[in-house]
Chains A and B, each alone.
Chain A
Amino acid sequence: IMSIFGEVPQAAPVAVFKLTADFREDQNPRKVNLGVGAYRTDECQPWVLPVVRKVEKMIADDHSLNHEYLPILGLPEFRSSSSKIALGEDSPAIKDNRVGAVQCLGGTGALKIGAEFLRRWYNGTDNTKTPVYVSAPTWENHNAVFSNAGFEDIRPYKYWDAGKRGLDLEGFLGDLESAPDHSIFVLHACAHNPTGTDPTQDQWKQIADVMMRKSLFAFFDSAYQGFASGNLDKDAWAVRYFVSQGFELFCAQSFSKNFGLYNERVGNLTVVAKDQDNLNRVLSQMEKIVRITWSNPPSQGARLVAITLNTPELFAEWKDNVKTMADRVLLMRAQLKEKLKALGTPGTWEHITEQIGMFSFTGLNPKQVEYLVKEKHIYLMASGRINMCGLTTKNIDYVAESIHEAVTTVQ
């Protein structure tokens, strides 16, 4: 019989997950996974934050809790405390009652709800032609989130300067200037994925200036707050600056990395509007979008984060756990750079410690990457992106030597 699905083509697997699958199958004892973005300890193990284990037990022992549906927009205490994390305890916007939020399925879910809302209600109604700008390069899923929401015109904005291995500010500002007014710009709040290169405060000011002048919409993607520098406030500087300049904006927050809650899908879409009335109308429409996507969000992760953020001792313990992770990454960065310099590996390696967050854009070319994967069993993305968390004191020498080999023998 003919099948209705006879014409369904086999889709290519998502690259980053394929990398991990290949890594798993590899039998080589020296193999190293520098692919997918999840934190690892120095023993190369996943790390469930001690504060998370503590709060999990609290939740399990509390038999007054049940599994009833959350409201469509999510757990209220989670939403408000998460927005406070992004915007600051003393945020004037919060005091003005013009900040709201939607609990979502991870950072991806927050981007999704934001994108669906913008397509329906921003720059006219159902205006699928509004350009959406994503950085070149950017997280590979950004494109799909916006195009699946219906946007027809998704463009890159200059960001990474491969030659100088840093931010192409001039190119970035140029693309902002030449963008049609009201275009949407997806900005990485901190710890840019995949390059690890963030604008300085001064550079952010310049970016904000152009965006304000040209009425460009700021959609922040904040997946690494706290994880980048080890300091929550420092990592939120850009978002807070934009708010202080009067922008209405969205901030898609993820608690996957900074809480280590990857598989519980804990995210928050923070909405900053001009006033409470506008905010309420926006949230009411987001509610409709949520209802036809997942109805209401999962309860476990949100409870956990809400309890942690709202309990002073637990909040302090969490910040400490976050700093532990950030510090280990900083240490690996410092050590990798030292070893490459000691080996005399050609090129400059300053970018390894200048870049920030989980990822580093090494500057290795596809051939060199292939060499590392095939010959050295070191798994990294074709773009040359490595996850610093995959490095440990035990494998860092092997990785440094292998990079040295790749750079010196493969052109």
Chain B
Amino acid sequence: AAYLHSILNFFFIFLSSWWTEVQMGPPDPILGVTEAFKRDTNPKKMNLGVGAYRDDQGKPFVLSCVRKAEAQIAAKKLDKEYLPIGGLAEFSKACSQLALGPDNEVLKSGRSITIQTISGTGSLRVGANFVSRFHNASRDVYLPKPSWGNHTPIFRDAGMQLKAYSYYDPKTCGFDFKGALHDISKIPEKSVIVLHACAHNPTGVDPRPEQWKEMAALIKKRNLLVFFDMAYQGFASGDIDRDAWAVRDFIEQGHNILLSQSFAKNMGLYGERVGGFTVVCKDVEEAKRVESQLKILIRPIYSNPPMNGARIASTILNTPELYKEWLVEVKDMADRIITMREMFVSNLKKEGSTHNWQHVTEQIGMFCFTGLKPEQVERLIKEFSIYMTKDGRISVAGVTSANVGYLAHAIHAVTK
């Protein structure tokens, strides 16, 4: 009988696969947009799905300070020895200084830990795992409504429960301040609250400083654990201090925050995967304990992080002339986006649109929540070859002075 069993088993194995029950994963909604765009033969086609900066010719942009840093690094002929688990120390230090400001009391006292991560996603993932393992007071993570699509599966996979607080007001295409305060006031103590530091993704809607202050006070009152996601520092307003204002103010108000940073957009280092994760702690001793546990979390994921991008970012942040040049370049990128927003609105007016497009110039950063409905988006894709995600989000980075007129014309056509 055992013999027969093994014969049958052999044939079964021979014919079947381990993976018969594996379902096809759903296509990524944003990638799907790019795929369709690629297939389109219309010479006027526009890809407004991509969340990567493009210059006014619609081309990817490698910053000059990045090229210079790369040349400097190449000349040094460095070895390729493993980085420590927490990454390149000069990078982590500069990364935290950029976010908090070099004179921040937190950095002076040494009561925080910043580690290098695999860009923003990697940072959020490590942070989510850390919270899941050590924040036993609550399993709940509150995201703004809406938030970056990847936030939910990251926190969920880490074992947390996802909840939401009001954020975007579709009636105004702006910030639902009242709604946000109302919802936050009901969040159970010690829950985790995720805040987008600047250039909210996907809406482009940011609270004003006075509104941030009220939120900081309320969140303090509710005793919530603050987790900032800062993927666009410098990229939003063009000013790195202004974009980090909320992060710094919260710390000043006494919040010991968690912070994810990405250098994908503001240094154009997308594919090099450069990011940081920071935990602001009670004191130096606690920071050491937290650091040791972060390493334990990271080792079984990828052992230690990639050098190339961190070395470039570190060189820029730590070399005065390169740092100055970077500040100018990041402002240029932000300014081009702002200019495109303005041209978009003025072109819509020229087309004769009577809708209120104020939100386009009030929103900030790479993305704009146009307010377009799915049917209108559908028409833009089918009739005009203008590609965006179904929620009406456009990447302003995909707009150029050459195509902004066409965009305004098309949008007017589907909204008049």
Q: State how many angstroms separate the Cβ of B137 from the closest Cβ of chain A.
A: 6
Q: Specify which chain B residues have a CB less than 8 angstroms from the CB of A141 in the assembled complex.
A: 299-300, 303
Give the CA-CA distance A215 to B11 in the complex, in Å.
11
Are the CB atoms of A67 and B268 closer together than 8 Å?
A: yes
Are the CB atoms of A282 and B157 closer together than 8 Å?
A: no
Interface positions of A from 277 to 307, Cβ below 8 Å from B: 278, 280-282, 284-285, 287-288, 291-301
Interface of A is mostly: loop
Are the CB atoms of A293 and B282 closer together than 8 Å?
A: no
User: Which of A69, A264, A278 touches B52 (beta carbons < 8 Å)?
Assistant: A69
Any A CB within 8 A of the CB of B392: no
Interface positions of B from 5 to 48, Cβ below 8 Å from A: 6, 9-10, 13-14, 16-25, 28, 31
Q: State how many angstroms separate the Cβ of A22 from the closest Cβ of chain B.
A: 14
Q: Specify which chain B residues have a CB less than 8 angstroms from the CB of A125 in the assembled complex.
A: 21
Are the CB atoms of B289 and A291 closer together than 8 Å?
A: no
By beta carbon, the residue of chain A nearest B27 is A284
Give the CA-CA distance A298 to B21 in the complex, in Å.
31
Are the CB atoms of A263 and B24 closer together than 8 Å?
A: no
B 288-322 to A, binary, CB cutoff 8 A, 1 in contact else 0: 11101101100111111111110000000000000
A 57-70 to B, binary, CB cutoff 8 A, 1 in contact else 0: 10010000011111
Are the CB atoms of A273 and B270 closer together than 8 Å?
A: no
Q: State how many angstroms separate the Cβ of B262 from the closest Cβ of chain A.
A: 10
Q: State how many angstroms separate the Cβ of B182 from the closest Cβ of chain A.
A: 25
Are the CB atoms of B292 and A248 closer together than 8 Å?
A: no
Are the CB atoms of B122 and A263 closer together than 8 Å?
A: no
Q: State how many angstroms separate the Cβ of A142 from the closest Cβ of chain B.
A: 9
Give the CA-CA distance A67 to B62 in the complex, in Å.
7
By beta carbon, the residue of chain B nearest A263 is B307
Any B CB within 8 A of the CB of A11: yes
Q: Specify which chain A residues have a CB less than 8 angstroms from the CB of B271 in the assembled complex.
A: 67-70, 296, 298-299
Any A CB within 8 A of the CB of B259: no
A 35-68 to B, binary, CB cutoff 8 A, 1 in contact else 0: 0101000000110100011001100100000111
Any B CB within 8 A of the CB of A323: no
Q: Specify which chain A residues have a CB less than 8 angstroms from the CB of B25 in the assembled complex.
A: 281, 284-285, 287-288
Are the CB atoms of A67 and B300 closer together than 8 Å?
A: no
Give the CA-CA distance A260 to B308 in the complex, in Å.
14
Are the CB atoms of B122 and A273 closer together than 8 Å?
A: no
Q: A263-B304, A292-B153, A300-B306 are in contact. Are A281 and B134 (CB under 8 A)?
A: no
Any B CB within 8 A of the CB of A199: no
Give the CA-CA distance A331 to B304 in the complex, in Å.
31
Q: A5-B282, A264-B308 are in contact. Are A294 and B273 (CB under 8 A)?
A: yes
Q: State how many angstroms separate the Cβ of A78 from the closest Cβ of chain B.
A: 12
Any B CB within 8 A of the CB of A10: yes
Any A CB within 8 A of the CB of B272: yes
Q: Specify which chain A residues have a CB less than 8 angstroms from the CB of B136 in the assembled complex.
A: 7
Are the CB atoms of A144 and B299 closer together than 8 Å?
A: yes
Q: Specify which chain A residues have a CB less than 8 angstroms from the CB of B84 in the assembled complex.
A: 17
Any A CB within 8 A of the CB of B85: yes
Any B CB within 8 A of the CB of A19: no
Any B CB within 8 A of the CB of A342: no
Tell me how many residues of B have a C-beta within 8 Å of chain A.
79
By beta carbon, the residue of chain B nearest A147 is B300
Q: Specify which chain A residues have a CB less than 8 angstroms from the CB of B296 in the assembled complex.
A: 11
Give the CA-CA distance A109 to B293 in the complex, in Å.
19
Are the CB atoms of B292 and A298 closer together than 8 Å?
A: no
Any B CB within 8 A of the CB of A163: no
Interface positions of A from 112 to 129, Cβ below 8 Å from B: 112, 121-122, 125
Give the CA-CA distance A293 to B60 in the complex, in Å.
25
Q: State how many angstroms separate the Cβ of B125 from the closest Cβ of chain A.
A: 6
Q: State how many angstroms separate the Cβ of B334 from the closest Cβ of chain A.
A: 18
Q: A5-B282, A8-B289, A293-B122 are in contact. Are A300 and B18 (CB under 8 A)?
A: no
Q: State how many angstroms separate the Cβ of B193 from the closest Cβ of chain A.
A: 13
Q: State how many angstroms separate the Cβ of B410 from the closest Cβ of chain A.
A: 26
By beta carbon, the residue of chain B nearest A75 is B271
Any B CB within 8 A of the CB of A240: no
B 93-122 to A, binary, CB cutoff 8 A, 1 in contact else 0: 000000000000000000000000011111
Any B CB within 8 A of the CB of A344: no
By beta carbon, the residue of chain B nearest A217 is B18
Any B CB within 8 A of the CB of A372: no
Are the CB atoms of A46 and B79 closer together than 8 Å?
A: yes
Q: Specify which chain A residues have a CB less than 8 angstroms from the CB of B23 in the assembled complex.
A: 281, 285
Q: A109-B302, A295-B150 are in contact. Are A215 and B308 (CB under 8 A)?
A: no
Are the CB atoms of A284 and B301 closer together than 8 Å?
A: no
User: Which of A9, A265, A281 touches B24 (beta carbons < 8 Å)?
Assistant: A281
Q: State how many angstroms separate the Cβ of B344 from the closest Cβ of chain A.
A: 24
Any A CB within 8 A of the CB of B286: yes
User: Which of A3, A12, A213, A278 touches B20 (beta carbons < 8 Å)?
Assistant: A278
Are the CB atoms of B24 and A5 closer together than 8 Å?
A: no
Are the CB atoms of B19 and A212 closer together than 8 Å?
A: no
Give the CA-CA distance A288 to B25 in the complex, in Å.
7
Are the CB atoms of B9 and A213 closer together than 8 Å?
A: yes
Are the CB atoms of B17 and A248 closer together than 8 Å?
A: yes
By beta carbon, the residue of chain A nearest B297 is A148
Give the CA-CA distance A262 to B269 in the complex, in Å.
20
Q: State how many angstroms separate the Cβ of B220 from the closest Cβ of chain A.
A: 11
A 1-25 to B, binary, CB cutoff 8 A, 1 in contact else 0: 1011111111111100100000000
Any A CB within 8 A of the CB of B403: no
9-residue interface stretch from B66-74, B162-170, B235-243 = B66-74
Any B CB within 8 A of the CB of A152: no
A-B contact pairs, 24 of them (CB 8 A): A4-B135, A4-B225, A66-B60, A66-B61, A105-B301, A106-B304, A112-B302, A144-B299, A144-B300, A145-B300, A148-B300, A148-B301, A212-B10, A262-B82, A263-B82, A263-B304, A263-B307, A265-B305, A274-B16, A281-B23, A293-B121, A297-B273, A300-B309, A301-B308
Binding site for A on B (CB under 8 A): 6, 9-10, 13-14, 16-25, 28, 31, 52, 60-62, 66, 70-71, 74, 77, 79-85, 118-122, 125, 134-137, 150, 153-154, 157, 190, 225, 256, 264, 268-273, 279, 281-282, 286, 288-290, 292-293, 295-296, 299-309
Q: 7 closest A-B pairs (Cβ-Cβ)?
A: A105-B302, A284-B25, A299-B271, A274-B17, A144-B300, A295-B121, A263-B307
Binding site for B on A (CB under 8 A): 1, 3-14, 17, 36, 38, 45-46, 48, 52-53, 56-57, 60, 66-70, 72, 104-106, 108-109, 112, 121-122, 125, 141, 144-145, 147-148, 212-213, 215, 217, 246, 248, 256, 260-265, 273-275, 278, 280-282, 284-285, 287-288, 291-301
Supplied contacts A6-B282, A217-B18, A282-B19, 14 more A-B pairs, CB within 8 Å: A17-B84, A48-B77, A66-B62, A69-B264, A72-B31, A112-B300, A141-B300, A141-B303, A261-B80, A265-B304, A281-B19, A291-B150, A292-B150, A293-B121
